A and B are shown apart, each in its own frame.
Chain A
Amino acid sequence: MSGLVDFRLRGIESVTDTALAHLDVEDLLVELLDRVRELLQVDTATVLLLDSSSQQLVATADRGIDAAVRQGFRIPVGKGFAGRVAAEKQPVIIEAVDHTNVLNTIFRDRGVCSLLGVPLLSRGTVIGVLHVGTLVPRRFTDEDVRLLQIVADRVGFATESRRAEVERAAAVVLQRSLLPARLPVVPGLELAARYVPAENGGVSGDWYDVFALPSGWLCIVIGDVVGRGLGAAEVMGRLRSALRAYALLGGDPAEVLGRVDQQVQHFDPETMATVLLAMFEPSLERLHLSSAGHPPPVLALPNHPPTLLDVPSDHPVGVPRGLRRRATTITVPPGGLLCFYTDGLVERRGTSLDAGLARLCELVVAGPVESVCAEVMAQLVGADPPDDDVAMLAVRRQDSGEIGPLDLVVPALPWSLRDIRVAVRRWLSAVGAAPRSIADLLVAVGEACTNAVEHAYGPSGGTVKVHMELQLPDVIATVADTGRWRPPRGEDRGRGTLFMRNCSDDLRIDHGPTGTTVVIRRRLAEQAPR
């Protein structure tokens, strides 16, 4: 090797070593390609990286003819010049470019005459192609090939380590962003969750989700995508969106999982995931569950030993099997706690799954959710680095006595009325109100809110505050606005006040200078208003 070439080759090494830490992949490649052009005295230098999902080589950096990247050039493995280098996994030389051996019209149009390409390898697999070209005919020598292969090894290593790092970071960020930042506040339920990513090899696609539907149903999801890294996190993101969307369409959890399964089999055929979907009725009395191959939740009731719920386990999502999915319904009495988890919590090397499940059952109690999570994680995960992701979610139905007042502040707009009813209905069921009282209070509170929406504010709008609390044996509901009730407009009005009065045991309407406050008192127990 001549002294000059040796000197330039060191230039390449220095780039890969010092700049690696600071540049992103594209900038690093551009820097390297400039050095390659100088080193080999060529006019063009191009890197194409393999997109493994499409098995296409994608132009990622080019120098000399800066068009391939800008035009989004891509070519399948096996096709054209770069495709041939990737398919054969060895250097390819073309001395006279023509339409039979080069498919990239950019090269032919710009008068590239000769090309030399080498594969970019990482641990023996092709991750891309590096090629150089000249505008005058050139016969590339063995020495040229050897030098370019040395550069390619550098580029391959730099790209792969950088990409792995970026992907790992992206997977963690993505996974974190997909887990609920805050669990929803649901009157009558206590919720707590834990998620710990696997120690090595990055995240795997464990996730949980809790969301309410417009109908007042509350959905709880826990799932585990087979696979690891960014790919698994992306699939998990799609599954999470699909579950939310399909749940919105209605149906029991088996139907919802069936639709998700259809979507996965069609759009993500390589995917497999276990998922458990549990849906609380608005009253929280009953829970409907369906399991796509996911381990069963633990149910702990006050004064009872915890048990694994007997949920029939159907095939995982993504497994083509035309079987109907099954849904189970259970009653969750006040004080009952459910623990949902992924297998990372109970599977340990050297112990059986049954032993892990038995251990979990010993640890779950019908107590405060945060301490249940803390205790389970301390005992089952402890200080050992987990080999797999661990996710757990504890849900406890509160006793009516534990439930605090309900406070809502919503925009004084017609479409807030339904949200208010959903929240009020849930709170009243949670505190144990009789059906008749719930129906009456929904009307009385609804009419008070309707008045605020219709009459309190001008075009600039405002808010309505709803506060509900127990003063046994009564419920006190307060609806307040900060506007002035304008006189009802149009005919046939004033019926709302009649309904409020008839649906409450006591009604006070206070039109003050700073707004109107309606206080409704109604017995919690079943009986017509006095």
Chain B
Amino acid sequence: MTAASVQATAEDGSMHIALSGEIDLANVDAVEEEIRAATSHQPNAVSVDLTELTYVDSAGIRMLFSLASRLRALRIVLELIVPLDSPTRRLIELSGFESLAALRPARH
């Protein structure tokens, strides 16, 4: 079974969500559920950190897109932290995610 972990930490009204492990069709719903729970109190901003994520597939990217549109509707700022050399960077770029949220190579 594919394993991922979701670590959420709140700081000054914003939410930092660090994903690690792998995300595919098998665990994408569980990961989405955890991210929803972590953002349910409507923070001002959300950053999703993919630094430690070693694999993501189109199901995972689809989940990130749906997160982005939900947050946009709620006027919550979203940024994605994806280092330039990270294994997931390529797919994030290919998917055109930048049109929905800012991509940063590291946590500022």
Contact = CB atoms under 8 A, between A and B. Distances in A.
A377 interface: no
Contacts of A495: 58, 61-62, 95
Interface stretch (B10-18, B20-28, B41-49, B72-80): B20-28
B9 interface: no
Contacts of B59: 450
A419 to B, nearest CB: 9
Chain B CB within 10 A, most for which of A417, A492, A503: A417
B1 interface: yes
**B interface: dominant SS:** mixed
A417 B91 CA distance: 18
A131 to B, nearest CB: 58
B57 A443 contact: yes
B87 interface: yes
Given A421-B55, A447-B57, A492-B62, A415 B94 contact: no
Contacts of A454: 25
Contact of A415 (B2, B55, B57, B66): B2
A18 to B, nearest CB: 59
Contacts of A492: 62, 65-66
Contacts of A442: 55
Interface in B64-94: 65-66, 87, 90-91, 94
A340 to B, nearest CB: 30
A499 B26 contact: no
A72 interface: no
Interface residues of B, number: 20
A414 interface: yes
Contacts of B3: 214
Contacts of B95: 495, 498
Contact of B87 (A414, A439, A502): A439
A453 interface: yes
Contact of A450 (B25, B87, B94): B25
Contacts of A447: 57-58
Contacts of B62: 492-493, 495
Contacts of B55: 421, 442, 446
B65 A418 contact: no
A333 interface: no
B22, B24, B87: residue with the most chain A Cβ atoms closer than 10 Å = B24
Contacts of B94: 498-499, 502
Contacts of B87: 439
Nearest to A490: B62
Contacts of A214: 1, 3
Contacts of B90: 439, 443, 502-503
A417 B58 contact: no
Contacts of B24: 414, 417-418, 446, 450
Interface in A409-436: 414-415, 417-418, 421
B65 A415 contact: no
Contact of A414 (B25, B58, B65, B91): B25
A417 B66 contact: no
B97 to A, nearest CB: 11
A241 B101 CA distance: 48
A493 B95 CA distance: 11
A443 B91 contact: yes
Given A214-B1, A447-B57, A415 B26 contact: yes
Contacts of A503: 90
B105 to A, nearest CB: 18
The 9 closest A-B CB pairs, nearest first, are A414-B26, A496-B58, A414-B25, A418-B2, A495-B58, A415-B26, A417-B24, A415-B1, A446-B57
Given A418-B1, A443-B57, A450-B58, 11 more contacts: A414-B25, A415-B2, A417-B2, A417-B26, A418-B26, A439-B87, A439-B90, A446-B24, A447-B58, A453-B25, A498-B94
Interface of A: 214, 414-415, 417-418, 421, 439, 442-443, 446-447, 450, 453-454, 492-493, 495-496, 498-499, 502-503
5 contacts: A418-B1, A418-B24, A450-B58, A495-B61, A502-B90
